[in-house]
Amino acid sequence: MSYTEEHKRETKERIVQSARRLFNRKGLNHVSIKEIMQEAGLTHGGFYHHFSSKDELYVEAVDSYSCCNPTEKWDDVEVDLSAAPDELASQMIDAYLSRGHLEDVDWQCPMIALPSDVARASPVLKQAYERAVLAMVEVFSGKNVLESRERALSIVAVCVGGMVLARTLDNVELATEIRDAARKLAHDISG
């Protein structure tokens, strides 16, 4: 045997994280394998010892987002993961629609960073994306999960819509106005 299993796992994880960052910044199709491997401190040839194709990397990268946790990342808003469900939902709304989240492109939610890329991607990638959407729905369901699914879905729509628009606009004032309007509305719904 050469190297350890763990060594290989760590290298692969480094590639995935490097890819996730670059995908968020430039979109799935504006990032080359060479670029990803360089950011991970490797050369492009080794890529195929870890993945059978670039498509496979897409899936792993989007799946790796699920582990992302706003608490550690968007430092202008505090989220207490041990809070009561309704309180947590409220904090998540603020975190999701925060300036920190908008500007932290590297760690941004894939639903904001990659919507149209995913819309045209392979079924496996879309499934990874669906898992991310459902995880978010769950957070916004609060304590009465079963009764408030519709409410949770509309909060997700407002949050994602507000942020997608904000990220697309160069006009900072308008982007902020939209985020503020979306935040207010999301809080109104969640009650």
Binding residues for DNA, rule: CB under 7 A, are: 1-4, 7-8, 11, 31-35, 37, 42-50, 53-55
Tell me whether residue 32 or residue 66 sits nearer to DNA (CB atom).
32
Does 1 contact a second copy by CB under 8 A?
no
Question: Are the CB atoms for 164 and 182 separated by under 8 Å?
Answer: no
8 contact, one of a second copy, DNA, none, CB 5-8 Å limit per kind = DNA
86 contact, one of a second copy, DNA, none, CB 5-8 Å limit per kind = none
Question: Are the CB atoms for 90 and 187 separated by under 8 Å?
Answer: yes
Does 177 contact a second copy by CB under 8 A?
yes
Q: Residues 6 or more apart from 110 whose CB is under 8 A from it?
A: 24, 62, 65, 118, 129, 132
Handedness of CA 20, 22, 27, 32 (dihedral sign): negative
User: In the stretch 123-152, what mask flags binding to a second copy with x, by CB under 8 A?
Assistant: x--xx-xx--xx--------------xxx-
Distance separating alpha carbons of residues 187 and 11, to the nearest angstrom: 42
Distance separating alpha carbons of residues 20 and 41, to the nearest angstrom: 15
Tell me whether residue 7 or residue 143 sits nearer to DNA (CB atom).
7
Distance separating alpha carbons of residues 174 and 191, to the nearest angstrom: 26
Distance separating alpha carbons of residues 124 and 137, to the nearest angstrom: 20
Position of tokens 């979306």? 182
CB of 7 to DNA, least distance (A): 6
Task: Catalog residues that contact a second copy under the rule CB under 8 A.
Answer: 26-27, 29-30, 111, 113-120, 123, 126-127, 129-130, 133-134, 149-151, 153-154, 156-162, 164-165, 167-171, 174, 177-178, 180-182, 184-185, 189
